[in-house]
Homo-oligomer: A and B are copies of this chain.
Amino acid sequence: MMIKASKRELGLLRSLRTRKVRRETGLFLVEGLRLCSDLADAGLPIEWVVVDSSRVADPRVAPLLERFTEVGVAVTSAPDYEIQRVSDTVHSQGVVAAAHWADVSLENLCLAPRAVLLALDRVSDPGNVGTVIRTAAWFGASAVLLGENCADLLNPKTVRATMGGLFHLPVIRNVHLPAAIKALKEESFTVNVASADGANDWASWTEKQRALLVLGNEAEGVGRDVRVLADRILAIPKHGKGESLNVAVSAGIFLSAISSA
């Protein structure tokens, strides 16, 4: 018999949709089978897990609950409608968790002789930030740095769009990009800014040993304070029409090129 989630727990889970409560508590919401499974493997401190009481024995849910028990996390249950009220999505899959994000600092990153880092400058859409992280994880980037005015990493929309990517590589929040870029230059990183007005200099991009790629705001691109620090401004060649590419699509194209070089 599983212990029932308390009203306080359910209320706090619901309130994690707001940035204020996430900041105050240090907790964030993880929803769904896949993401909760990645969370169980991630080693982050998990505050608690709530499961739809009608799905405890569901063959897709039960192994996940066992896994949480293995890693010493208490699982409580709640009726379906309470899970729905917590969940930010239409299909909650009956499992939600609250976890503590463990911030890492740039200084403590262990960077290999060959490493690709991504930095986002004021990317404002949570879906875009999440999809960039998902893409960076797929291509084995060393880390993603989120500049100070990016969408919140711990917004449920961002977390969902990462598809677990935020558990697969270091993501550093609230980075003062100009200072970080100066520090990375001293560690032999070349600084590449993606911009539609840049050069088509793919050869120089793909031959790098240590490379930082900076992608900017959806409408305005990378800010001047960051552009002035660039070793190169790179563009993705346009063969058709349009003003720009989506920021996550651009990240994928750059990372695919350097990964297969």
Contact with B along A225-248 (1 / 0, CB 8 A): 000000000001111111111101
Q: Given the interface contacts A127-B127, A253-B256, A257-B256, does A140 sit within 8 Å of B246 by beta carbon?
A: no
Q: Indicate which residue in B34, B242, B245, B253 contacts A243 across the interface (CB closer than 8 Å).
A: B34
Q: Which residues, 22 to 50 on A, are CB-close (under 8 Å) to B?
A: 34
Q: Which of A238, A241, A251 has the most CB of B within 10 A?
A: A241
Query: Would you give the 0/1 interface string for A116-155, flagging 1 where the beta carbon is closer than 8 Å to chain B?
Result: 0000000000010001001111111100000000000000
- A residues whose Cβ falls under 8 Å from a Cβ of B: 34, 127, 131, 134-141, 163-165, 168-169, 202, 236-246, 248-253, 256-257, 259-260
Chain B residues with Cβ under 8 A from A34's Cβ?
243
Collect the chain B residues with CB atoms within 8 Å of residue A136's CB.
Answer: 240
Known A245-B134, A246-B134; judge A240-B163 contact (CB<8 A).
no
Known: A138-B238, A240-B168. A202 touches B245 (CB 8 A): no
Task: Please pick, from B202, B240, B256, B259, the residue contacting A138 in the complex, using a CB distance under 8 A.
Answer: B240
CB–CB B248/A165 < 8 A: no
Q: Is there an interface contact between B253 and A138, defined as CB atoms closer than 8 Å?
A: no
Contact check, A135 vs B246: say whether CB atoms are below 8 A apart.
yes
With beta carbons under 8 angstroms apart, the residue of B243, B251, B260 that contacts A163 is B243
Residue of B nearest to A245 (CB): B138
